[in-house]
């Protein structure tokens, strides 16, 4: 078992959306959550990935309690998330989007090279070029670290992603915003897959396809 959700309650402000939700996902299993608009599908995913803090209940990933943890802690641990709005950088190329997807951030000092990263890091949440980055909540400077997979491993991941989505291979140097809706969804999926996550959470996976 890779994920277990037990008696989960979560919502927005005083509006409770999830009422005692239970779910289980085994290794290499595909699970679909189906329901009408407003049923709480996105709320459940956001609670698992840490965007939304549950009011009570348990979320265990790889037998470790993660309820209330931040996304920046969960992504390096093997969780990946594709939101329903695609979440791509339209002015960047497809390849640059994939490279941004290969960056994870943890507490520590900033050690990151490359013109691409220096150019676009300020547009990432809490990102800044320099020894300290501003805290995205209170504005207090705090050190951050940019961690990247090796260049060779990145090239292998790109080959794997273009194997899954052949439409992207001839368009790696094109701006992502110029692609069709379905191709943009492929880029969003590729950004999540480039870190080879143990579990992929996809909100509205067929959007634009």
Residue-wise DSSP of 35-64: --TTSSHHHHHHHHHTSS--SEEEEEETTE
- pLDDT for res 153: 87
Do 148 and 154 contact (CB within 8 A), yes or no? Answer: yes
Task: Pick the range with the lowest mean pLDDT from 32-36, 74-78, 81-85, 147-151.
Answer: 147-151
CATH superfamily of 3-77: P-loop containing nucleotide triphosphate hydrolases (3.40.50.300)
- pLDDT for res 208: 63
pLDDT tens digits, one per residue of 136-169: 333 333 333 344 577 888 899 999 999 999 999 9
Do 84 and 164 contact (CB within 8 A), yes or no? Answer: no
The whole-model pTM stands at 0.76
Q: Specify the residue for token string 């348990």.
A: 58
- pLDDT for res 148: 56
The encoded tokens of residue 83 equal 């939101």
Section 37-56 average pLDDT: 95
The percent of residues in the chain predicted with pLDDT above 70, rounded, is 77
Q: Where are the domains of the chain?
A: 3-77, 94-197
């Amino acid at each position: 078992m890779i994920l277990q959700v037990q008696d989960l309650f979560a919502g927005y402000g005083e509006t409770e959306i999830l009422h005692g939700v239970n779910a289980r996902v085994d290794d290499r299993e595909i699970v679909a959550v189906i329901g009408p608009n407003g049923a709480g599908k996105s709320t459940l995913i956001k609670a698992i990935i840490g965007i939304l803090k549950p009011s009570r209940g348990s979320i265990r990933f790889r037998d470790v309690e993660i309820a209330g943890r931040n996304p920046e802690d969960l992504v390096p641990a093997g969780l990946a998330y594709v939101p329903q709005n695609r979440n791509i950088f339209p002015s960047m190329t497809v390849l640059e989007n994939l490279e941004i997807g290969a960056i994870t951030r943890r507490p520590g000092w900033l050690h990151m090279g490359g013109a691409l990263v220096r150019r676009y890091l300020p547009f990432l949440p809490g990102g800044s070029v320099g020894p300290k980055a501003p805290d995205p909540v209170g504005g207090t400077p705090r050190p951050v670290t940019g961690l990247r997979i090796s260049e060779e491993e990145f090239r292998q991941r790109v080959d794997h992603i273009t194997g899954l989505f052949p439409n992207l291979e001839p368009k790696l140097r094109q701006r992502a915003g110029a692609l069709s809706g379905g191709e943009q969804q492929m880029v969003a999926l590729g950004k999540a897959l480039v870190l080879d996550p143990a579990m992929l959470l996809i909100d509205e996976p067929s959007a634009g396809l």
